[in-house]
Chains A and B, each alone.
Chain A
Amino acid sequence: MTCIETIQAYALRSIGIGERLLPRDDFTLCQHFTLIGSGLIWNVYFGVLALLFGFFLANALALAKAAHSPWLRKPAEWFIFLFRGSPLFIQFFLAYEMLVLLPKAGIEVLGITVATSWTTKAWAGALFVLFLNTAAYSAEIFHGALKSVPKGDVEAADAYGITGWTRFRRILWPTMLRLGWPAYTNEAIFLFHATTLVFFSGFPAFQQRGDALYYANYFADKTFNPFIPYPIVGFYFICLTLLLIWVFGRVNRHLNRHLPSNMRGRIRLRPQLIR
Protein backbone atom coordinates (compact mmCIF):
# COMPACT_ATOMS: atom_id res chain seq x y z
CA MET A 1 0.00 0.00 0.00
CA THR A 2 1.44 3.37 -0.92
CA CYS A 3 1.37 6.23 1.50
CA ILE A 4 -1.42 8.04 -0.37
CA GLU A 5 -3.59 4.92 -0.19
CA THR A 6 -2.84 4.60 3.51
CA ILE A 7 -3.90 8.17 4.10
CA GLN A 8 -7.11 7.61 2.13
CA ALA A 9 -7.84 4.46 4.12
CA TYR A 10 -6.98 5.60 7.62
CA ALA A 11 -6.99 9.41 7.82
CA LEU A 12 -10.56 9.44 9.17
CA ARG A 13 -10.46 5.98 10.78
CA SER A 14 -11.00 7.39 14.27
CA ILE A 15 -14.46 8.68 13.35
CA GLY A 16 -15.42 5.51 11.54
CA ILE A 17 -14.76 6.50 7.91
CA GLY A 18 -12.48 4.36 5.79
CA GLU A 19 -10.90 0.95 6.29
CA ARG A 20 -12.51 -1.07 9.09
CA LEU A 21 -9.56 -3.28 9.98
CA LEU A 22 -6.55 -1.70 11.58
CA PRO A 23 -3.17 -2.71 10.11
CA ARG A 24 -1.98 -5.95 11.68
CA ASP A 25 1.60 -6.47 10.46
CA ASP A 26 4.31 -4.79 8.38
CA PHE A 27 3.69 -1.47 10.04
CA THR A 28 5.04 1.45 8.06
CA LEU A 29 6.00 4.88 9.30
CA CYS A 30 3.22 6.28 7.12
CA GLN A 31 0.63 4.15 8.89
CA HIS A 32 1.93 5.34 12.23
CA PHE A 33 1.64 8.99 11.25
CA THR A 34 -1.77 8.62 9.58
CA LEU A 35 -3.54 6.64 12.29
CA ILE A 36 -2.13 8.60 15.20
CA GLY A 37 -2.97 11.83 13.37
CA SER A 38 -6.46 10.49 12.79
CA GLY A 39 -6.79 9.87 16.52
CA LEU A 40 -5.84 13.47 17.12
CA ILE A 41 -9.30 14.43 15.82
CA TRP A 42 -10.74 13.16 19.11
CA ASN A 43 -8.21 15.10 21.19
CA VAL A 44 -9.11 18.28 19.33
CA TYR A 45 -12.84 17.51 19.65
CA PHE A 46 -12.65 16.98 23.43
CA GLY A 47 -10.29 19.89 23.98
CA VAL A 48 -12.11 22.49 21.89
CA LEU A 49 -15.64 21.69 23.06
CA ALA A 50 -14.69 21.33 26.73
CA LEU A 51 -12.82 24.65 26.59
CA LEU A 52 -15.69 26.39 24.81
CA PHE A 53 -18.46 25.23 27.17
CA GLY A 54 -16.14 25.37 30.18
CA PHE A 55 -15.34 29.01 29.54
CA PHE A 56 -18.93 30.08 30.19
CA LEU A 57 -19.39 27.92 33.27
CA ALA A 58 -16.00 29.11 34.57
CA ASN A 59 -17.10 32.74 34.34
CA ALA A 60 -20.31 31.97 36.20
CA LEU A 61 -18.44 29.99 38.86
CA ALA A 62 -15.80 32.69 39.31
CA LEU A 63 -18.53 35.28 39.89
CA ALA A 64 -20.38 32.95 42.24
CA LYS A 65 -17.20 32.38 44.24
CA ALA A 66 -16.68 36.12 44.51
CA ALA A 67 -20.30 36.71 45.57
CA HIS A 68 -21.23 37.91 49.06
CA SER A 69 -24.17 35.56 49.50
CA PRO A 70 -23.03 32.23 50.98
CA TRP A 71 -25.82 30.49 49.01
CA LEU A 72 -23.89 31.28 45.83
CA ARG A 73 -20.36 31.22 47.22
CA LYS A 74 -20.35 27.92 49.11
CA PRO A 75 -21.61 25.69 46.25
CA ALA A 76 -19.09 27.27 43.87
CA GLU A 77 -16.26 26.77 46.37
CA TRP A 78 -17.23 23.14 46.91
CA PHE A 79 -17.56 22.47 43.19
CA ILE A 80 -14.12 23.94 42.51
CA PHE A 81 -12.56 22.02 45.41
CA LEU A 82 -14.16 18.76 44.29
CA PHE A 83 -12.79 18.97 40.77
CA ARG A 84 -9.44 20.54 41.55
CA GLY A 85 -8.75 18.35 44.56
CA SER A 86 -9.19 14.95 42.97
CA PRO A 87 -7.42 13.29 40.05
CA LEU A 88 -9.07 13.55 36.65
CA PHE A 89 -8.37 9.85 36.18
CA ILE A 90 -10.57 8.98 39.18
CA GLN A 91 -13.22 11.44 38.00
CA PHE A 92 -13.40 9.64 34.67
CA PHE A 93 -13.74 6.24 36.34
CA LEU A 94 -16.35 7.47 38.80
CA ALA A 95 -18.40 9.26 36.14
CA TYR A 96 -18.35 6.19 33.92
CA GLU A 97 -19.46 3.86 36.71
CA MET A 98 -22.22 6.30 37.68
CA LEU A 99 -23.46 6.65 34.12
CA VAL A 100 -23.49 2.89 33.70
CA LEU A 101 -25.82 2.64 36.70
CA LEU A 102 -28.48 4.73 34.93
CA PRO A 103 -31.42 2.54 33.87
CA LYS A 104 -30.73 0.99 30.48
CA ALA A 105 -34.28 1.44 29.18
CA GLY A 106 -34.20 5.19 29.75
CA ILE A 107 -35.81 7.49 32.28
CA GLU A 108 -39.48 8.48 32.09
CA VAL A 109 -39.84 12.23 32.36
CA LEU A 110 -43.41 13.54 31.97
CA GLY A 111 -44.36 10.61 29.81
CA ILE A 112 -41.38 10.96 27.49
CA THR A 113 -38.65 8.33 27.64
CA VAL A 114 -35.21 9.92 27.76
CA ALA A 115 -32.56 7.57 26.41
CA THR A 116 -29.54 7.14 28.68
CA SER A 117 -27.26 4.76 26.79
CA TRP A 118 -25.48 7.53 24.90
CA THR A 119 -24.17 9.06 28.12
CA THR A 120 -21.78 6.14 28.68
CA LYS A 121 -20.16 6.73 25.30
CA ALA A 122 -16.85 8.56 25.40
CA TRP A 123 -17.94 11.39 23.12
CA ALA A 124 -20.61 12.45 25.62
CA GLY A 125 -19.56 11.15 29.04
CA ALA A 126 -15.87 12.02 28.83
CA LEU A 127 -16.66 15.40 27.29
CA PHE A 128 -18.98 16.13 30.21
CA VAL A 129 -16.28 15.28 32.77
CA LEU A 130 -13.66 17.33 30.93
CA PHE A 131 -16.10 20.24 30.68
CA LEU A 132 -16.74 20.27 34.45
CA ASN A 133 -13.05 19.76 35.20
CA THR A 134 -11.76 22.61 33.05
CA ALA A 135 -14.59 24.83 34.29
CA ALA A 136 -13.39 24.30 37.88
CA TYR A 137 -9.74 24.99 37.07
CA SER A 138 -10.53 28.04 34.92
CA ALA A 139 -12.96 29.37 37.52
CA GLU A 140 -10.13 29.41 40.06
CA ILE A 141 -7.95 31.32 37.59
CA PHE A 142 -10.69 33.84 36.76
CA HIS A 143 -11.57 34.24 40.43
CA GLY A 144 -7.96 35.08 41.20
CA ALA A 145 -7.90 37.53 38.29
CA LEU A 146 -11.15 39.13 39.44
CA LYS A 147 -9.61 39.69 42.89
CA SER A 148 -6.60 41.42 41.35
CA VAL A 149 -8.50 43.92 39.20
CA PRO A 150 -6.82 47.25 40.09
CA LYS A 151 -8.79 49.25 42.65
CA GLY A 152 -8.26 52.41 40.60
CA ASP A 153 -10.15 50.96 37.61
CA VAL A 154 -13.22 50.32 39.73
CA GLU A 155 -12.99 53.75 41.39
CA ALA A 156 -12.70 55.41 38.00
CA ALA A 157 -15.83 53.57 36.85
CA ASP A 158 -17.66 54.76 39.96
CA ALA A 159 -16.55 58.32 39.30
CA TYR A 160 -17.97 58.15 35.78
CA GLY A 161 -21.25 56.84 37.16
CA ILE A 162 -20.86 53.41 35.60
CA THR A 163 -22.55 50.90 37.88
CA GLY A 164 -24.06 47.45 38.05
CA TRP A 165 -24.15 45.31 34.95
CA THR A 166 -22.53 47.95 32.75
CA ARG A 167 -19.61 48.26 35.13
CA PHE A 168 -19.15 44.51 35.11
CA ARG A 169 -19.42 44.16 31.33
CA ARG A 170 -17.22 47.11 30.40
CA ILE A 171 -14.68 47.34 33.23
CA LEU A 172 -14.47 44.27 35.46
CA TRP A 173 -14.92 41.46 32.97
CA PRO A 174 -12.44 42.62 30.30
CA THR A 175 -9.81 43.35 32.97
CA MET A 176 -10.41 39.98 34.60
CA LEU A 177 -9.94 38.21 31.27
CA ARG A 178 -6.84 40.25 30.50
CA LEU A 179 -5.20 39.45 33.84
CA GLY A 180 -6.20 35.81 33.85
CA TRP A 181 -5.35 35.08 30.23
CA PRO A 182 -1.72 33.85 30.56
CA ALA A 183 -2.75 31.38 33.27
CA TYR A 184 -5.80 30.40 31.24
CA THR A 185 -3.52 29.62 28.29
CA ASN A 186 -1.60 27.19 30.48
CA GLU A 187 -4.87 25.63 31.57
CA ALA A 188 -5.91 25.17 27.93
CA ILE A 189 -2.60 23.44 27.13
CA PHE A 190 -2.97 21.09 30.08
CA LEU A 191 -6.58 20.38 29.15
CA PHE A 192 -5.50 19.24 25.69
CA HIS A 193 -2.90 17.02 27.35
CA ALA A 194 -5.55 15.63 29.67
CA THR A 195 -7.73 14.51 26.75
CA THR A 196 -5.28 11.65 26.18
CA LEU A 197 -6.53 10.03 29.39
CA VAL A 198 -10.07 9.44 28.09
CA PHE A 199 -9.59 6.05 26.49
CA PHE A 200 -7.42 4.73 29.31
CA SER A 201 -9.97 5.37 32.02
CA GLY A 202 -13.02 3.20 31.72
CA PHE A 203 -14.57 4.73 28.64
CA PRO A 204 -14.31 2.01 25.97
CA ALA A 205 -13.21 2.83 22.43
CA PHE A 206 -16.15 1.84 20.22
CA GLN A 207 -14.97 -0.20 17.18
CA GLN A 208 -11.37 0.78 17.93
CA ARG A 209 -12.11 4.44 17.31
CA GLY A 210 -9.75 6.07 19.76
CA ASP A 211 -7.59 9.11 20.23
CA ALA A 212 -3.95 9.66 19.30
CA LEU A 213 -2.54 7.91 22.35
CA TYR A 214 -4.95 5.00 21.91
CA TYR A 215 -3.50 4.26 18.47
CA ALA A 216 0.08 4.87 19.63
CA ASN A 217 -0.52 2.36 22.40
CA TYR A 218 -1.98 -0.04 19.81
CA PHE A 219 1.20 0.21 17.71
CA ALA A 220 3.49 -0.10 20.73
CA ASP A 221 1.63 -3.21 21.88
CA LYS A 222 1.82 -4.80 18.43
CA THR A 223 5.40 -3.94 17.48
CA PHE A 224 6.80 -3.93 21.02
CA ASN A 225 8.77 -0.89 19.97
CA PRO A 226 7.89 2.29 21.87
CA PHE A 227 10.49 4.40 20.09
CA ILE A 228 8.35 5.22 17.05
CA PRO A 229 4.67 5.70 18.06
CA TYR A 230 5.16 7.68 21.28
CA PRO A 231 7.56 10.26 19.82
CA ILE A 232 5.00 10.73 17.01
CA VAL A 233 2.30 11.51 19.59
CA GLY A 234 4.76 13.87 21.22
CA PHE A 235 5.42 15.57 17.90
CA TYR A 236 1.71 16.03 17.22
CA PHE A 237 1.11 17.42 20.68
CA ILE A 238 4.01 19.86 20.45
CA CYS A 239 2.48 21.15 17.19
CA LEU A 240 -0.92 21.38 18.89
CA THR A 241 0.60 23.23 21.86
CA LEU A 242 2.37 25.71 19.57
CA LEU A 243 -0.88 26.30 17.68
CA LEU A 244 -2.73 26.89 20.96
CA ILE A 245 -0.08 29.32 22.16
CA TRP A 246 -0.38 31.19 18.88
CA VAL A 247 -4.20 31.40 19.02
CA PHE A 248 -4.25 32.39 22.68
CA GLY A 249 -1.44 34.86 22.04
CA ARG A 250 -3.58 36.55 19.39
CA VAL A 251 -6.46 36.83 21.85
CA ASN A 252 -4.05 38.11 24.49
CA ARG A 253 -2.89 40.81 22.11
CA HIS A 254 -6.48 41.77 21.43
CA LEU A 255 -7.27 41.95 25.14
CA ASN A 256 -4.23 44.14 25.83
CA ARG A 257 -4.46 46.33 22.74
CA HIS A 258 -5.28 49.50 24.73
CA LEU A 259 -2.12 49.29 26.84
CA PRO A 260 1.10 51.07 25.88
CA SER A 261 3.38 48.64 24.08
CA ASN A 262 6.00 48.50 26.85
CA MET A 263 3.34 47.38 29.35
CA ARG A 264 1.98 44.81 26.93
CA GLY A 265 5.26 42.96 26.70
CA ARG A 266 5.21 42.26 30.40
CA ILE A 267 2.40 39.74 30.16
CA ARG A 268 4.21 36.69 28.95
CA LEU A 269 3.37 33.03 28.86
CA ARG A 270 5.06 31.72 31.92
CA PRO A 271 3.69 29.76 34.84
CA GLN A 272 2.91 31.77 37.92
CA LEU A 273 5.91 31.22 40.14
CA ILE A 274 5.94 34.26 42.33
CA ARG A 275 3.06 35.64 44.34
Chain B
Amino acid sequence: MFEYCVDPSQLSGLAWLSCYLTTGTHFNFYWSFVTVLMLLAVTAPVALAFGFGGAMAARSHLTPLSLIGKGYIAAVRGVPDIVYFLFFVIALDQGVEWAKHLFVCDDLSQPVWNGSEFKVCAAAKVPLATSSAIWHSAYAFALAVFTFALVFGAFAANVLYGAMQAVPRAQLETAEAYGMTQRQVFRRILVPQMWVYALPGLSNLWLILIKATPLLFLLGIQDIVYWARELGSAKTSGNNPYPHGDWRVFYFLGLLVFYLAFTRVSEIFLSRLTRRLSHGQATLGGEQLRKAGA
Protein backbone atom coordinates (compact mmCIF):
# COMPACT_ATOMS: atom_id res chain seq x y z
CA MET B 1 0.00 0.00 0.00
CA PHE B 2 2.59 2.57 1.11
CA GLU B 3 5.93 3.04 -0.62
CA TYR B 4 8.01 2.19 2.43
CA CYS B 5 6.29 -1.23 2.68
CA VAL B 6 8.57 -2.84 0.10
CA ASP B 7 10.68 -4.64 2.69
CA PRO B 8 8.65 -5.18 5.86
CA SER B 9 11.48 -6.95 7.67
CA GLN B 10 13.33 -3.61 7.96
CA LEU B 11 10.33 -1.87 9.57
CA SER B 12 9.29 -1.66 13.18
CA GLY B 13 6.69 -0.05 15.39
CA LEU B 14 3.87 1.95 13.84
CA ALA B 15 5.32 1.86 10.34
CA TRP B 16 5.29 -1.93 10.43
CA LEU B 17 1.76 -1.95 11.78
CA SER B 18 0.50 0.45 9.11
CA CYS B 19 1.98 -1.80 6.44
CA TYR B 20 0.68 -4.95 8.13
CA LEU B 21 -2.88 -3.64 8.36
CA THR B 22 -2.98 -2.65 4.69
CA THR B 23 -1.97 -5.94 3.08
CA GLY B 24 -4.21 -7.48 0.43
CA THR B 25 -5.59 -10.11 2.80
CA HIS B 26 -6.47 -7.42 5.30
CA PHE B 27 -8.49 -5.65 2.65
CA ASN B 28 -10.35 -8.92 2.15
CA PHE B 29 -11.00 -8.83 5.90
CA TYR B 30 -12.35 -5.27 5.74
CA TRP B 31 -14.41 -6.17 2.69
CA SER B 32 -16.02 -9.01 4.65
CA PHE B 33 -17.47 -6.39 7.05
CA VAL B 34 -19.26 -4.97 4.00
CA THR B 35 -20.53 -8.49 3.26
CA VAL B 36 -22.05 -8.66 6.74
CA LEU B 37 -23.67 -5.24 6.40
CA MET B 38 -24.96 -6.20 2.96
CA LEU B 39 -26.45 -9.39 4.35
CA LEU B 40 -28.24 -7.36 7.03
CA ALA B 41 -29.47 -4.80 4.51
CA VAL B 42 -30.88 -7.48 2.21
CA THR B 43 -32.13 -9.91 4.85
CA ALA B 44 -34.06 -7.45 7.02
CA PRO B 45 -36.64 -6.40 4.38
CA VAL B 46 -36.94 -9.95 2.99
CA ALA B 47 -37.46 -11.38 6.48
CA LEU B 48 -40.03 -8.67 7.17
CA ALA B 49 -41.86 -9.63 3.99
CA PHE B 50 -41.78 -13.31 5.00
CA GLY B 51 -43.02 -12.30 8.43
CA PHE B 52 -45.83 -10.24 6.97
CA GLY B 53 -46.88 -13.15 4.79
CA GLY B 54 -46.69 -15.56 7.72
CA ALA B 55 -48.71 -13.28 9.99
CA MET B 56 -51.37 -12.73 7.32
CA ALA B 57 -51.59 -16.47 6.74
CA ALA B 58 -51.90 -17.14 10.47
CA ARG B 59 -54.73 -14.58 10.73
CA SER B 60 -56.57 -15.98 7.72
CA HIS B 61 -60.11 -17.30 8.04
CA LEU B 62 -59.22 -20.28 5.83
CA THR B 63 -58.20 -23.05 8.20
CA PRO B 64 -55.46 -24.66 6.05
CA LEU B 65 -53.81 -21.29 5.38
CA SER B 66 -53.96 -20.33 9.04
CA LEU B 67 -52.51 -23.72 10.01
CA ILE B 68 -49.61 -23.22 7.58
CA GLY B 69 -48.90 -19.79 9.03
CA LYS B 70 -49.07 -20.97 12.61
CA GLY B 71 -47.03 -24.08 11.83
CA TYR B 72 -44.31 -21.94 10.21
CA ILE B 73 -44.11 -19.75 13.32
CA ALA B 74 -44.12 -22.64 15.78
CA ALA B 75 -41.62 -24.84 13.92
CA VAL B 76 -38.89 -22.22 13.83
CA ARG B 77 -39.39 -21.08 17.41
CA GLY B 78 -39.09 -24.60 18.85
CA VAL B 79 -35.82 -25.61 17.20
CA PRO B 80 -32.38 -23.95 17.49
CA ASP B 81 -31.83 -21.59 14.55
CA ILE B 82 -28.39 -23.02 13.86
CA VAL B 83 -30.05 -26.33 12.95
CA TYR B 84 -31.96 -24.50 10.23
CA PHE B 85 -28.81 -22.80 9.04
CA LEU B 86 -27.00 -26.10 8.66
CA PHE B 87 -30.08 -27.82 7.21
CA PHE B 88 -31.25 -25.29 4.65
CA VAL B 89 -27.88 -24.68 3.08
CA ILE B 90 -27.62 -28.33 1.99
CA ALA B 91 -31.35 -28.86 1.51
CA LEU B 92 -31.83 -25.78 -0.69
CA ASP B 93 -28.72 -26.53 -2.66
CA GLN B 94 -29.85 -30.09 -3.32
CA GLY B 95 -33.43 -29.00 -3.99
CA VAL B 96 -32.37 -26.48 -6.64
CA GLU B 97 -30.04 -28.95 -8.33
CA TRP B 98 -32.63 -31.70 -8.23
CA ALA B 99 -35.28 -29.46 -9.81
CA LYS B 100 -32.84 -28.40 -12.52
CA HIS B 101 -31.85 -32.04 -12.98
CA LEU B 102 -35.44 -32.96 -13.85
CA PHE B 103 -35.54 -30.32 -16.59
CA VAL B 104 -32.12 -30.20 -18.23
CA CYS B 105 -30.66 -33.69 -17.90
CA ASP B 106 -31.27 -36.25 -20.63
CA ASP B 107 -30.61 -39.38 -18.63
CA LEU B 108 -33.06 -39.54 -15.73
CA SER B 109 -32.72 -43.29 -15.14
CA GLN B 110 -30.14 -42.98 -12.36
CA PRO B 111 -31.48 -42.09 -8.89
CA VAL B 112 -30.28 -38.73 -7.62
CA TRP B 113 -29.89 -39.83 -4.00
CA ASN B 114 -27.94 -43.05 -4.12
CA GLY B 115 -26.53 -44.36 -0.85
CA SER B 116 -24.20 -41.71 0.45
CA GLU B 117 -24.08 -39.81 -2.83
CA PHE B 118 -26.01 -36.96 -4.36
CA LYS B 119 -25.51 -37.01 -8.10
CA VAL B 120 -26.91 -34.80 -10.84
CA CYS B 121 -25.57 -34.46 -14.37
CA ALA B 122 -22.96 -31.78 -15.06
CA ALA B 123 -25.46 -29.51 -16.79
CA ALA B 124 -27.64 -29.41 -13.67
CA LYS B 125 -24.97 -28.17 -11.30
CA VAL B 126 -25.75 -24.77 -9.78
CA PRO B 127 -23.71 -22.76 -10.51
CA LEU B 128 -22.07 -24.62 -13.40
CA ALA B 129 -18.58 -25.94 -12.74
CA THR B 130 -17.36 -23.75 -15.57
CA SER B 131 -18.77 -20.47 -14.24
CA SER B 132 -16.48 -17.97 -12.59
CA ALA B 133 -15.73 -17.86 -8.88
CA ILE B 134 -17.85 -14.76 -8.41
CA TRP B 135 -20.99 -16.72 -9.32
CA HIS B 136 -20.14 -19.39 -6.78
CA SER B 137 -19.84 -16.84 -3.98
CA ALA B 138 -22.95 -14.99 -5.17
CA TYR B 139 -24.92 -18.22 -5.09
CA ALA B 140 -23.64 -19.07 -1.59
CA PHE B 141 -24.58 -15.57 -0.47
CA ALA B 142 -28.08 -15.86 -1.96
CA LEU B 143 -28.60 -19.16 -0.15
CA ALA B 144 -27.45 -17.54 3.10
CA VAL B 145 -29.84 -14.61 2.65
CA PHE B 146 -32.73 -16.94 1.93
CA THR B 147 -31.95 -19.09 4.99
CA PHE B 148 -31.65 -16.08 7.27
CA ALA B 149 -34.87 -14.62 5.87
CA LEU B 150 -36.72 -17.88 6.37
CA VAL B 151 -35.66 -18.24 10.02
CA PHE B 152 -36.06 -14.60 10.97
CA GLY B 153 -39.25 -14.35 8.94
CA ALA B 154 -40.85 -16.78 11.36
CA PHE B 155 -39.80 -14.65 14.33
CA ALA B 156 -41.05 -11.53 12.55
CA ALA B 157 -44.32 -13.30 11.74
CA ASN B 158 -44.76 -14.02 15.43
CA VAL B 159 -44.17 -10.37 16.33
CA LEU B 160 -46.42 -9.00 13.58
CA TYR B 161 -49.17 -11.49 14.40
CA GLY B 162 -49.11 -10.28 18.00
CA ALA B 163 -49.07 -6.66 16.87
CA MET B 164 -52.06 -7.15 14.56
CA GLN B 165 -53.99 -8.69 17.45
CA ALA B 166 -52.97 -5.80 19.70
CA VAL B 167 -54.58 -3.05 17.61
CA PRO B 168 -57.67 -2.05 19.60
CA ARG B 169 -60.75 -3.89 18.35
CA ALA B 170 -62.80 -0.70 18.54
CA GLN B 171 -60.70 0.90 15.81
CA LEU B 172 -61.51 -1.90 13.39
CA GLU B 173 -65.17 -1.96 14.35
CA THR B 174 -65.45 1.79 13.79
CA ALA B 175 -63.94 1.36 10.33
CA GLU B 176 -66.43 -1.40 9.58
CA ALA B 177 -69.25 0.82 10.80
CA TYR B 178 -68.17 3.43 8.25
CA GLY B 179 -68.72 0.81 5.59
CA MET B 180 -65.13 -0.17 4.79
CA THR B 181 -64.54 -3.63 3.35
CA GLN B 182 -62.29 -6.13 5.10
CA ARG B 183 -59.47 -5.29 2.72
CA GLN B 184 -59.82 -1.56 3.32
CA VAL B 185 -59.88 -2.05 7.09
CA PHE B 186 -56.69 -4.09 6.82
CA ARG B 187 -54.89 -1.58 4.58
CA ARG B 188 -56.05 1.70 6.04
CA ILE B 189 -56.58 0.98 9.73
CA LEU B 190 -54.81 -2.18 10.88
CA VAL B 191 -51.45 -1.92 9.09
CA PRO B 192 -50.72 1.76 9.85
CA GLN B 193 -51.54 1.25 13.52
CA MET B 194 -49.83 -2.06 14.15
CA TRP B 195 -46.25 -0.76 13.72
CA VAL B 196 -46.08 0.94 17.09
CA TYR B 197 -47.08 -2.36 18.73
CA ALA B 198 -44.66 -4.32 16.56
CA LEU B 199 -41.69 -2.04 17.05
CA PRO B 200 -40.42 -3.33 20.44
CA GLY B 201 -40.47 -6.88 19.09
CA LEU B 202 -38.99 -5.92 15.74
CA SER B 203 -36.18 -3.88 17.28
CA ASN B 204 -35.40 -6.83 19.51
CA LEU B 205 -35.35 -8.99 16.40
CA TRP B 206 -33.01 -6.60 14.61
CA LEU B 207 -30.55 -6.86 17.51
CA ILE B 208 -30.83 -10.66 17.40
CA LEU B 209 -30.29 -10.56 13.63
CA ILE B 210 -27.10 -8.52 14.06
CA LYS B 211 -25.86 -11.05 16.57
CA ALA B 212 -26.70 -13.97 14.26
CA THR B 213 -24.47 -12.71 11.43
CA PRO B 214 -21.32 -14.54 12.64
CA LEU B 215 -23.19 -17.74 11.81
CA LEU B 216 -22.45 -16.93 8.16
CA PHE B 217 -19.15 -18.61 8.93
CA LEU B 218 -21.00 -21.91 9.35
CA LEU B 219 -22.64 -21.47 5.96
CA GLY B 220 -19.23 -21.58 4.33
CA ILE B 221 -19.00 -17.90 3.51
CA GLN B 222 -15.70 -16.07 3.94
CA ASP B 223 -17.03 -13.68 6.52
CA ILE B 224 -15.39 -11.73 9.33
CA VAL B 225 -15.01 -14.81 11.56
CA TYR B 226 -13.29 -16.70 8.75
CA TRP B 227 -10.83 -13.89 8.10
CA ALA B 228 -10.20 -13.26 11.80
CA ARG B 229 -9.19 -16.90 12.18
CA GLU B 230 -7.13 -16.85 8.99
CA LEU B 231 -5.26 -13.62 9.71
CA GLY B 232 -4.87 -14.15 13.42
CA SER B 233 -3.33 -17.62 13.35
CA ALA B 234 0.43 -17.77 13.88
CA LYS B 235 2.51 -16.95 10.78
CA THR B 236 6.04 -18.28 10.50
CA SER B 237 8.77 -16.20 8.94
CA GLY B 238 9.31 -18.63 6.04
CA ASN B 239 7.03 -17.36 3.28
CA ASN B 240 5.11 -14.63 5.09
CA PRO B 241 6.55 -11.11 5.00
CA TYR B 242 4.80 -10.28 8.29
CA PRO B 243 5.57 -13.10 10.74
CA HIS B 244 3.72 -12.99 14.06
CA GLY B 245 2.51 -15.28 16.82
CA ASP B 246 -1.05 -16.37 17.54
CA TRP B 247 -2.99 -13.09 17.34
CA ARG B 248 -6.46 -14.52 16.98
CA VAL B 249 -7.45 -13.18 20.38
CA PHE B 250 -6.83 -9.59 19.20
CA TYR B 251 -8.81 -10.11 16.02
CA PHE B 252 -11.75 -11.53 17.92
CA LEU B 253 -11.50 -8.65 20.37
CA GLY B 254 -11.82 -6.36 17.35
CA LEU B 255 -14.93 -8.22 16.20
CA LEU B 256 -16.38 -7.96 19.71
CA VAL B 257 -15.89 -4.19 19.70
CA PHE B 258 -17.44 -3.96 16.20
CA TYR B 259 -20.55 -5.80 17.34
CA LEU B 260 -20.85 -3.85 20.59
CA ALA B 261 -20.61 -0.55 18.72
CA PHE B 262 -23.10 -1.70 16.08
CA THR B 263 -25.57 -2.82 18.77
CA ARG B 264 -25.22 0.46 20.65
CA VAL B 265 -25.81 2.58 17.56
CA SER B 266 -28.83 0.46 16.63
CA GLU B 267 -30.26 0.82 20.12
CA ILE B 268 -29.99 4.60 20.05
CA PHE B 269 -31.53 4.77 16.58
CA LEU B 270 -34.39 2.41 17.49
CA SER B 271 -35.27 4.30 20.66
CA ARG B 272 -35.58 7.49 18.55
CA LEU B 273 -37.78 5.66 16.06
CA THR B 274 -39.99 4.38 18.89
CA ARG B 275 -40.42 7.95 20.10
CA ARG B 276 -41.43 9.16 16.66
CA LEU B 277 -43.91 6.35 16.09
CA SER B 278 -45.49 6.83 19.51
CA HIS B 279 -46.69 10.30 18.57
CA GLY B 280 -50.47 10.45 18.67
CA GLN B 281 -50.92 6.77 19.53
CA ALA B 282 -53.36 5.56 22.16
CA THR B 283 -50.57 3.99 24.22
CA LEU B 284 -48.76 4.85 27.43
CA GLY B 285 -45.76 6.15 25.45
CA GLY B 286 -47.97 8.30 23.24
CA GLU B 287 -49.78 9.69 26.27
CA GLN B 288 -46.47 10.64 27.90
CA LEU B 289 -45.36 12.45 24.74
CA ARG B 290 -48.66 14.32 24.62
CA LYS B 291 -48.34 15.44 28.24
CA ALA B 292 -44.72 16.49 27.75
CA GLY B 293 -45.70 18.57 24.73
CA ALA B 294 -48.70 20.23 26.37
Contact = CB atoms under 8 A, between A and B. Distances in A.
B200 A275 contact: yes
A231 B260 CA distance: 34
Contacts, number: 129
Interface string A227-239: 1001101100110
A87 B214 contact: yes
A138 B244 CA distance: 40
A197 B82 contact: yes
Contacts of B217: 89
A88 B249 contact: no
A196 B82 CA distance: 8
B270 to A, nearest CB: 13
A81 B197 contact: no
Size range of the chain A interface in the assembly: 35 or more
Interface in A78-107: 81-82, 84-91, 93-94, 97-98, 100-101
Given A193-B80, A196-B83, A225-B113, A86 B260 contact: yes
B118 interface: yes
B162 A97 contact: no
A194 to B, nearest CB: 7
Interface of A: 25, 27, 81-82, 84-91, 93-94, 97-98, 100-101, 192-194, 196-197, 200, 213, 216-217, 220, 222-227, 230-231, 233-234, 237-238, 241, 270-275
Interface of B: 75, 78-83, 86-87, 90-91, 94, 113, 116-118, 158-159, 162-163, 166, 197-198, 200-201, 210-215, 217-218, 225, 228-229, 232, 246, 248-249, 252-253, 255-256, 259-260, 263-264, 283-285
Given A86-B256, A194-B80, 9 more contacts: A86-B263, A87-B259, A93-B248, A100-B246, A101-B249, A225-B113, A233-B80, A237-B78, A275-B283
